[in-house]
Structure 1
C-alpha cells in the first residue's frame, strides 16, 4: 500500500475515524480488540500487582505495592475502573452475538475472578473495599443512568410533527 506524500506528513489524520469511510462493523471489531486488550492488561495487573507479592512470612501472597497505601489505592481504583469499563463495552458490543449467554457467563466469571484475586493479594488494612466495589459498578451505573435519562428525555420532548401542528 502506497501512502500519498501529503498523508505521510499527517499520518495521524489518515488513520482517524471517518463516519462515511468506516463501517459500524469495522468500528465494533476495532473496539472489541481494544477493550479486550485493556481487560486483559488490567486483569493481569489486578492479579499480579506491580512489584509482585511477598514470598515469605506472614505477608506471603500479599501485594508488595500495598505497603505504599495511597499509591496502591490509586492503582487499584483506576485499574478496576479500566477493567470494569472494558467489561461493560465488551458486553455492550456483543449484545446480540451468537452464544451471547456464554459470553456473559465467561465475562462475569472473569470479573468475579478479578475481584477475588484483588481481595486475595490486598491486605485488609490497605484499602476500603467498598470504594473498589463502587468503582467497579460505576461504569454500569453511569451507562444505565444515561440510558434512562435518554428514554425520559425522548418521552417528554415534543415530536417535530406535534410542534408543526401546534399541539406542543
Structure 2
C-alpha cells in the first residue's frame, strides 16, 4: 500500500529522515507550515468574518450576523465558498503530510473537529437565507478530489503489467 500513496516521497520514514541532507523532509516541513498558516487564517476569517458582525438587532439583520452577509452574492461565492475550499484543502495537506507520524490519530481528530467547529461558526454568523449546500460541497470537494486521484492511481497501477 505504501507504493500506491501519492505522497510517499514526503511521508515520515525513520531511516530516510535520519539523514540530515534529505530534501523531502524539508519540503514536508515547509508544506506543513504553509498549510497550518492557511488553516489558521481561514478558520479565523470564518469565525470572525470580514466587516465583523452586527452588534444589535434591526429590521434587516440580527445581532451576531455577519455584516458582509448583506452582500449575498459576494459573501457567498467570494468569501464563504473560497474560504471553505482553502480551509479544507489545507486540512487535506496536513492530514496527508502527517500520515504515519506518531500521534497521527490525534492530529486527524483535532483537524476534523476544528473543521466541524468552523462549520458551526459560519452557520452561527450567516443569515438563514444562505444555502449551505454550496459551502458543504466546497468543504467536501478537496477530500473527494484527493480520494478520486488516489483511486485512479491505484487502478492505473493495477492495470500496468508487472516486469
Shorter-chain TM-score tier: 0.7 to 0.9
Is residue 98 from structure 1 mapped to residue 108 from structure 2 by the alignment?
no
User: Secondary structure of 1:96's match?
Assistant: coil
- Mapped to 1, the partners of 2:22 and 2:52 lie a distance apart of 42
- Mapped to 1, the partners of 2:99 and 2:156 lie a distance apart of 24
- Taking structure 2 as the reference length, what is the TM-score of the superposition? 0.82
- Mapped to 1, the partners of 2:153 and 2:104 lie a distance apart of 25
Q: State the partner residue of 2:64.
A: 61
Q: State the partner residue of 2:149.
A: 146
Is residue 80 from structure 1 mapped to residue 96 from structure 2 by the alignment?
no
Q: State the partner residue of 1:40.
A: 40
Q: State the partner residue of 2:128.
A: 124
Show structure 1 runs of 5+ residues with no match: 1-20, 162-168
Moved more, 54-63 or 78-87: 54-63
Show structure 2 runs of 5+ residues with no match: 1-20
1:28-48 C-alpha deviation (Å, 9 max, x unpaired): 000000000000000000011
Moved more, 53-62 or 63-72: 53-62
Matches within 5 A, 1:24-35: 24-35=24-35
Q: State the partner residue of 1:156.
A: 159
- Mapped to 1, the partners of 2:92 and 2:84 lie a distance apart of 12
User: Whose radius of gyration is greater, 1 or 2?
Assistant: 1
Q: Which gives a bigger RCO, structure 1 or 2 (Cα 8 Å, sep 6+)?
A: 2
* Aligned Cα root-mean-square deviation (Å): 1.2
- Taking structure 1 as the reference length, what is the TM-score of the superposition? 0.80
User: Secondary structure of 2:50's match?
Assistant: coil
- Mapped to 1, the partners of 2:47 and 2:88 lie a distance apart of 14
- Mapped to 2, the partners of 1:94 and 1:80 lie a distance apart of 21
Q: State the partner residue of 1:109.
A: 113
- Mapped to 2, the partners of 1:121 and 1:134 lie a distance apart of 19
